[in-house]
């Protein structure tokens, strides 16, 4: 059995949609329908994710027949830690890392320091990764996928 950290579908889908918006930035507004189709996400579910990202100030909505979403700032200034906070909240793997009252055993717990280290490591990766990084990765992967080899 392998070790797996849980990241919600909401976070995974939101991050993929934001990577697509980052690739389109600043030239193009992307509709929820277009995002949903390219990312294989239900437009209704995606709209709820985009609403949370708009509330957090990460995206802006554009009304009209050519409306949709754009990033609220340049992709290099939006960190995945911002996205995680908007869609997930804390990166703590257990409640007692952020809330002392969550566990009566916290002060005697042999694992508490480990969970604090896990949170710190996750936050460090999320802090150093921007939407520009994701857009660059997306472009590289698209180039590799479209290459054809002839023998």
CATH number at residue 27: 1.10.10.10
| Predicted pLDDT at 20 | 94
| Predicted pLDDT at 144 | 77
| pLDDT band at residue 126 using 50, 70 and 90 as cut-offs | very high
Whether 144 maps to a domain, the answer reads no
Q: Specify the higher pLDDT residue, 61 or 146.
A: 61
**Mean pLDDT, the chain, integer:** 89
Give CA–CA dist 121/91, Å, rounded: 10
- How many domains does the chain fold into? 1
DSSP 62: E
The pLDDT of 14-24, averaged and rounded, is: 95
| pLDDT band at residue 3 using 50, 70 and 90 as cut-offs | low
Residue 46, domain extent: 1-74
Q: Give CA separation, 22 vs 10, 42, 140, in Å.
A: 18, 20, 14
């Amino acid at each position: 059995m392998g070790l797996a950290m849980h990241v919600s579908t909401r976070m995974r889908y939101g991050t993929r949609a934001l990577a697509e918006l980052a690739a389109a930035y600043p030239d193009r507004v992307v509709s929820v329908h277009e995002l949903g189709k390219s990312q294989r996400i239900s437009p209704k579910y995606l709209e709820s994710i985009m609403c949370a990202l708009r509330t957090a100030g990460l995206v802006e909505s554009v009304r009209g027949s050519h409306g949709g979403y754009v990033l609220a700032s340049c992709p290099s200034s939006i960190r995945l830690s911002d996205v995680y906070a908007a869609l997930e909240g804390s990166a703590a793997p257990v409640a007692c890392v952020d809330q002392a009252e969550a566990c009566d055993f916290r002060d005697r717990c042999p694992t508490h320091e480990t969970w604090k280290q896990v949170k710190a490591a996750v936050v460090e990766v999320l802090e150093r990764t921007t939407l520009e990084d994701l857009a660059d990765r997306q472009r590289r992967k698209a180039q590799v996928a479209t290459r054809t080899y002839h023998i």
